[in-house]
Structure 1
Amino acid sequence: APKTIEDVAMTTPNPDGQSPHLDGGLIMSIEEILDFHITPKQITNRWARVSFHVQDNGLHSYRVPVVTGEKQDDLAGSLTYLFDENEKLQRIDFLGFTHDPSTLIEVMKREHRMTKRPSHVQALYIKSQNKLPVSALRIIASEIISTSAPADPLEVRLELNRLHLGATLSDSFRALLKADKQGEQI
């Protein structure tokens, strides 16, 4: 019987449209799931459990559970893909946990040109366009205490927006950054 998350993912065929996996199956790299070329069909083919919502702003979202593995730098949480009326991916949100954010940080710096910003939180990386933040990675010490892990998990909040004229962070992420600046908890 499979013993680890990775074993279970390996025993389920990679998503091929015939066999969606509960947590997206075997994920080889973070970039694989943080890609603006992903389509709604790829999401429903890959994940067995997808929560669909229509947003007030005209976007529609697909939320899925994700576990990238069991190593310290792996991620566990929920991933939300937001599409416009033309099925073009506009925003990717991740809310979850990791024990070691270094791989995610490196991907954000390399692939999304985020830069570290001064902050009261553990780590804050932002991509700006026309001096306005358009994507952000926020890492804080988690309130969850793990008895089995050598270190407590860190809470990760990531928002990636497709770069276009007028692209901006969501209201909720901007409110979070504002509260961080004022030293509050949301």
Structure 2
Amino acid sequence: MFRRTVMFWVAAAASFGVPYSYYDPTVRETASSYWNKASQLVPSGEDAPAASIAGKDNPGGQNLVSAPSSTSATKPLGPPSAAPVFQQFDHFINFNASPRWIMETWPRVSTTLSDIRLEGLRVPLVSGSRVDDIAGSLTYYFDHEKVLQRITFHGTTGDERRLVAMLTEHYKFESEPNVAGSLYMVKWNGDPVSVLRVEPAPVIDQNVPHTRLKIDLEINRPSSYYALSPEMAKLVDHDKHAGRWGFK
């Protein structure tokens, strides 16, 4: 178990340049230290106990973070220098997140603009050490009223099924017939408004199974007027014209 855990953090650090090659180098610089701290919090590769996530029975003050329950901040446990560790995907893929909660949860946050309407807060993420955990770049986009309108993630995993199950349950993603990889969408009037793309990594090493799959995820707030970002819309359109989906 210990060996698998160590291999995951090494693999995550090695693969970090791929999903982060599009993004702010200041995030990339600190990712390795986040993962090292996270591996100390989950040394055995097991999920953290629910009681600790909820803030109970946590004498060490580890930064085990629960889901934000409202748009007000949920203050994380432990010092801000500790890497956040989440028990479930919906603890961080959550439209109740606020800018304050994000800044109090991650030790370092970079800002970015999606367009003139949305401001992004980008953080590095390693959700855990299981083969179906995810590692990469997580960005929250807020409107001028500080309401979260979009969540994006770009990174890797070894098994997408746990992420797909959460997105299907909470956000009504549906599988879209496609030629390569896996594609899941939420549509409005026939047009995709949220997308999960999963495809094999360019190089697959059986010794580092956590990096077998590449993930591109964008979720726009349900019942919002925001459509796909120009970047994701271009990617989806390219896939369609290449015959990868949209042929049913």
Kindly state the Cα deviation for residue 17 of structure 1 after the two structures are TM-superposed.
Answer: 6.9
Q: Which has the higher helix share?
A: 2
Q: Is the contact between residue 73 and residue 99 of structure 1 (CA under 8 Å) also seen in structure 2?
A: yes
Structure 2 residue corresponding to 1:19, chosen from 79, 86, 97: 79
2:22 alignment counterpart: none
Q: Is the contact between residue 135 and residue 157 of structure 2 (CA under 8 Å) also seen in structure 1?
A: yes
Structure 2 residue corresponding to 1:37, chosen from 91, 96, 104: 96
After superposition, the Cα gap between the structure-2 partners of 1:128 and 1:21, relative to the gap in structure 1 and judged at 3 Å, is farther
Please give the per-residue CA displacement for 1:119-147, whole angstroms capped at 9, x wherever unaligned.
22310000112222111100011114335
2:205 alignment counterpart: 146
After superposition, the Cα gap between the structure-2 partners of 1:150 and 1:91, relative to the gap in structure 1 and judged at 3 Å, is closer
2:16 alignment counterpart: none
Secondary structure of the 1:169 match is coil
Identity over aligned pairs, percent:
30
1:126 alignment counterpart: 185
TM-score normalised to the size of structure 2? 0.67
Cα root mean square deviation, aligned: 2.5
TM-score normalised to the size of structure 1? 0.87
Structure 1 residue corresponding to 2:152, chosen from 76, 85, 93: 93
Q: d(CA) in 2 for partners of 1:69 and 1:177? A: 29
Unaligned runs of 5+ in 2: 7-34, 43-59, 66-75
After superposition, the Cα gap between the structure-2 partners of 1:105 and 1:131, relative to the gap in structure 1 and judged at 3 Å, is same
Please give the per-residue CA displacement for 1:130-170, whole angstroms capped at 9, x wherever unaligned.
22211110001111433522575100010000123533111
Rg larger in structure = 2
The reply on whether 1:75 has 2:134 as its aligned counterpart is: yes
2:40 alignment counterpart: 8
Kindly state the Cα deviation for residue 40 of structure 1 after the two structures are TM-superposed.
Answer: 0.4
Q: Which consecutive segments of 4 or more residues in structure 1 shift more than 4 A?
A: 2-7
Q: d(CA) in 2 for partners of 1:76 and 1:100? A: 12
The letter for the 2-side match of 1:178 is: D
